[in-house]
Structure 1
């Protein structure tokens, strides 16, 4: 699956989160100081992110952005819908992974090419990037449907 589709799904998730949080917090932000305003924005953003990435994905197989872009999150090896526990851990990894990316990029630039591997939470320190630390993958909805049809056809021929 192309990275463009996944990046668009992430962008849609971010946009929907910002719009929702902005609408919810707008009546209260102008009445508070900056620390309270940050809390008023951060709390709902985390709740919306959890609902989108854990609850909605557990129920439908994808968050809002992935649903719009025709992507599903599946567990390996059976390509079934992942349970809430792997989705919760995946969400927590994402919360830790994203803020650290500037650090990893800067560290690899300052160390020179090939000196330090790009180490992240996603690869366990060996420099090889993995799509997901919990055995979950993102696939196009059409590819998932084709796999199911092929499985049904193979069972019918037996």
Structure 2
């Protein structure tokens, strides 16, 4: 075929030319496949960790724990209280049994059954991150001591949040990348523990035992 000026069009010997109009593209199966992005290095592949239990459920569990603690401490201190006992002496008599019950409930019972008395009633379990296993005794002791030191400051934090609203900074947690490669909800437990619903934990363990 010649051009309008009478010269024959020649092919460029240096390499292939771009496809002209009307040239069919190669089929999809012949194209080079693009590999799908995989998990980040160092992140194990597995089911997502159970989400944290709701605030209402956790607050009710804390309320039940406090109720049982006060009732038990009151029953133990009642034989030593009479009309001549002052308020300071009553508080001193209640402090020892309350601390003992709190330790047995939050540390010993949780290490054995996975939750304290209030959490068992509300269907909550305490798990260890990142493998969702049962927490060890040392982690539970650290968590119990942390709770005792933080509990007196809760009224101040609640009043400040009510008056000024949550302020950005270390007091307001942000979503962080979990060790299993997922991005979870805010979680600030310094002991690496999480409170989850019992049904969510059972579903997670079933998925781990029978992966698809």
Does the alignment reach a TM-score above 0.5?
Answer: yes
**Runs of 5+ in structure 1 lacking a partner?**
120-124
Match of 1:25 among 77, 86, 92: 77
Structure 2 length normalisation: TM-score? 0.63
In 1, the alpha carbon distance for the partners of 2:165 and 2:76 equals: 46
- Residue range with higher mean Cα deviation, 32-41 or 141-150: 32-41
Counterpart in 2 of 1:47?
A: 100
The secondary structure found in structure 2 opposite 1:78 is: coil
- Residues 18 and 45 of structure 1 are in contact (CA less than 8 Å); yes or no, is this contact kept in structure 2? yes
Counterpart in 1 of 2:172?
A: 127
Q: Deviations over 1:23-71 (max 9, x none)?
A: 1111112253332221110111011011100111011100000011111
Match of 1:137 among 194, 207, 212: 194
Equivalenced residue count is 147
The secondary structure found in structure 1 opposite 2:210 is: helix
State whether structure 2 residue 198 is matched by structure 1 residue 153: no
Q: CA deviation at 1:2?
A: 1.8
In 2, the alpha carbon distance for the partners of 1:113 and 1:2 equals: 20
Question: Which structure ranks higher in relative contact order (CA pairs < 8 Å, sequence separation ≥ 6)?
Answer: 2
Match of 1:63 among 109, 116, 121: 116
State which structure, 1 or 2, has the greater radius of gyration over its C-alpha atoms: 2
Counterpart in 2 of 1:77?
A: 130
Instruction: Judging by fraction of residues, say which structure has more helix.
Output: 1
- Residues 90 and 134 of structure 1 are in contact (CA less than 8 Å); yes or no, is this contact kept in structure 2? yes
Q: Deviations over 1:72-125 (max 9, x none)?
A: 000011100000111111111111111112233445667x557x55x7xxxxx3
State whether structure 2 residue 149 is matched by structure 1 residue 96: yes
- Residue range with higher mean Cα deviation, 4-13 or 33-42: 33-42
In 2, the alpha carbon distance for the partners of 1:113 and 1:63 equals: 32
In 2, the alpha carbon distance for the partners of 1:66 and 1:107 equals: 28
Structure 1 length normalisation: TM-score? 0.82
